[in-house]
Amino acid sequence: MDASTFYKSTTTSLSMDFINQHIQEIYFVIFCVFIGIEVIANVPAILHTPLMSGANAISGVILVGAIIVMLRVPADDYLNLTLGGIAVFLGTLNISGGFFVTGRMLKMFSPKK
């Protein structure tokens, strides 16, 4: 068996092992995606602003948790620090974008001057 055949069979075996070990979690994530799409699609337009505000609050809690986890990562673990930094940056971007969009939505309901 040459190296490329061994690599392909090993990676395929590893990925199938991962899938077999985590099949319930994979099904749960797929189920949650479908439920989330169904719930968001059926929210009336008037309730989108409070929904966005609630999502921003949840994102803020998650961001605080990510920062706490990053503080506990050893200083020489560059991979996890980099991934954590990217996660904190993207979480911050998500929150600020959410507040921007929520502000624009609230301006639509304010009286015209």
Do 95 and 108 belong to one domain?
yes
Regarding pTM above 0.75, the answer is no
In this predicted structure, the answer to whether residue 7 has a pLDDT above a threshold of 60 is no
Q: Which domain holds residue 11?
A: 1-42
Do 49 and 93 belong to one domain?
yes
Do 69 and 23 belong to one domain?
no
In this predicted structure, the answer to whether residue 113 has a pLDDT above a threshold of 80 is no
pLDDT averaged over every residue in the chain: 83
Percent of the chain at pLDDT exceeding 70? 87
**Taking a C-beta distance cutoff of 8 angstroms, is the pair 63, 92 a contact?**
yes
Confidence grade of residue 6 (pLDDT, cut at 50, 70, 90): low
* Count of structural domains, the chain: 2
Do 27 and 67 belong to one domain?
no
Do 17 and 72 belong to one domain?
no
Confidence grade of residue 1 (pLDDT, cut at 50, 70, 90): low
Confidence grade of residue 101 (pLDDT, cut at 50, 70, 90): confident
Give the pLDDT of residue 4: 59
pLDDT tens sequence across 32-76: 999 988 988 888 877 877 887 788 888 888 898 889 888 999 999
Do 58 and 112 belong to one domain?
yes
